[in-house]
């Protein structure tokens, strides 16, 4: 009895197909055209009954940031799932999340942030290869043009100092900051997650566990 509509900038995406959708809206990509997306969402709101705000659910990291940035405008027509100062925003920062894990005693790979070739050289004596090079925020490498430059992968494994220098030189013209992280060897299927929904005052309302079977490219790509 609840109407559900999909919002997508890629009509051919698998997620844009479901027998449970009452309709599909093709909208601008919030990563590349946030202002246009905001305007389109306000137009869509006019097509639905007044006084009954739809809930809008983000499905990508960048959608979470988009809803935060345009909160004041969208909140007049939509119910937004995350509060203004949601902890989700801190969790999306991989460097901050690593620091929080270390503070509370959760074992985590050594992680450092570098914003220039000079900073990388300063860290070289303390580095232990192989390393993972990744963005501080996942969405940063997803921007148009950069995703292809990083080989359509979420992180890059480097085996030597020379590889690290060469990679940073290739990335520096489009992204200054990178994270260097100790590489923990393993297979794709060694990655497991537990996702929970915990409501304030109500405790754990739902959860699921999952194991990643494969990703493309292997070890550093997107689940496939």
Instruction: List pLDDT tens digits, range 56-68.
Output: 999 888 898 899 9
Per-residue burial over 26-42, b if 16 or more Cβ lie within 10 Å, else e, is ebbbbbeebeebbebbe
Structure tokens at 166: 């060469």
Q: What is the pLDDT of residue 143?
A: 74
pLDDT band at 102 (very low <50, low <70, confident <90, very high): very high
Stretch 141-170: mean pLDDT, rounded? 85
Identify the band that residue 80 occupies on the pLDDT scale cut at 50, 70 and 90.
Answer: very high
In this prediction, residue 121 carries a pLDDT of 92
pTM: 0.74
């Amino acid at each position: 009895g609840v109407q559900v509509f999909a919002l997508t900038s890629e009509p051919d995406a698998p997620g844009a197909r479901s027998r449970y959708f009452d309709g599909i809206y093709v909208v601008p990509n919030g990563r590349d055209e946030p202002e246009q997306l905001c305007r389109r969402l306000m137009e869509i709101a006019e097509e639905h009954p007044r006084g009954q705000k739809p809930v809008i659910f983000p499905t990508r990291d960048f959608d979470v940031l988009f809803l935060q940035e345009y909160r004041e405008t969208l909140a007049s027509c939509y119910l937004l799932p995350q509060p203004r100062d949601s902890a989700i925003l801190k969790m999306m920062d991989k460097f901050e999340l690593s620091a929080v894990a270390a503070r509370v005693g959760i074992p985590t790979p050594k992680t450092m942030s570098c914003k220039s070739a000079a900073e990388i050289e300063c860290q070289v004596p303390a580095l232990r290869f192989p390393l993972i090079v990744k963005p501080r925020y996942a969405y940063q490498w997803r921007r148009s043009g950069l995703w292809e430059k990083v080989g359509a992968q979420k992180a890059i494994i480097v085996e030597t100092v020379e590889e690290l220098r060469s990679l940073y030189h290739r990335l520096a013209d489009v992204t200054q900051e990178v994270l260097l992280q100790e590489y923990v060897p393993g297979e794709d299927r060694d990655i497991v997650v537990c996702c929970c929904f915990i409501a304030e005052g109500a405790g754990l309302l739902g959860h699921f566990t999952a194991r990643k079977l494969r990703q493309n490219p292997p070890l550093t790509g997107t689940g496939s």
